[in-house]
Amino acid sequence: MEGTSVNAETVHRWLQGAAASMKESRDYLTQLDAAIGDADHGTNMERGFTAVLAKLDAGDAPNAPGPMLIAAGSTLVSTVGGASGPLWGTALRRAGRALGDGDEFDGAQLALALRAALDGVVELGAAEEGDKTMVDSLSPAVRALDESLRSGAAIAEALATAQTAGEEGMRATVPLQAQKGRASYLGERSIGHQDPGATSTALILAALANSVGAES
């Protein structure tokens, strides 16, 4: 059935879209990080995703969705110095491992992969929702994806719902006081600023929704 499965092209389109978005939003993400961190989030994410694209376009790149995501995650870990490199690197590697070696996957498998990504981030960074991190965008998005698919939505529609939930979670970081990462050193002074990692996460989720929406 049209639009009910995603494949290597979808994943490639997702990572390309994410890379373009990181490039376009580099200065904005860095400004957000300047307010409550060390002003490197935009450059970190742009460097990492540019390297991911180079990796995927190399001759020896894997061409199934799972292995592609594992390669992308490993590239982020090795090219991004900040906290976001290991965190997003782990997320993509876990998602890739959850997908296995198949050529195509359906909505339920995609939801499991994103759940595995979130679990990896939480295992590594120990942040809970409300701590003002990328988890505040990723976690509600994964929940919305699960709920939407369970209520019978097609993948593209469920991902659009997840994107919206991720954006709402991103905006909800503004009034929070950071409990994890560099921003937590600021204590109450972190209140009133949007979290940079939640912002890049919402952009990456938007790229995912676009990559699947473009196909169906």
Tell me which residues touch Mg ion (CB under 5 A): 33, 37-38, 40-41, 82
Binders of ligand ADP among residues 152 to 181 (CB under 6 A) are 180-181
User: Is 46 a residue that touches ligand ADP (CB under 6 A)?
Assistant: no
- Closest separation in Å from C-beta 121 to ligand ADP: 6
Binders of ligand ADP among residues 83 to 142 (CB under 6 A) are 83-84, 87, 121, 125-127, 133-135
- Helix spans in the chain (H): 8-24, 26-36, 41-57, 65-79, 84-99, 107-125, 135-150, 155-171, 196-213
- Cα–Cα distance measured from residue 20 to residue 207, given in angstroms and rounded to the nearest whole number: 9
Which CB, 26 or 41, lies closer to ligand ADP? 41
Residue 123 burial (CB count, 10 A): 10
- Closest separation in Å from C-beta 138 to ligand ADP: 9
- Closest separation in Å from C-beta 62 to ligand ADP: 26
> How many residues lie near ligand ADP (CB under 6 A)?
24
Which CB, 10 or 194, lies closer to ligand ADP? 194
- Closest separation in Å from C-beta 41 to ligand ADP: 4
Contact 58, 90 (CB under 8 A): no
Helices 41-57 and 65-79: angle between axes, nearest 10 degrees = 140
CA max distance for the chain: 51
Reported as type and span, the H/E element at residue 6 is strand 5-7
Binding residues for ligand ADP, rule: CB under 6 A, are: 33, 37-38, 40-41, 44, 82-84, 87, 121, 125-127, 133-135, 180-182, 195-198
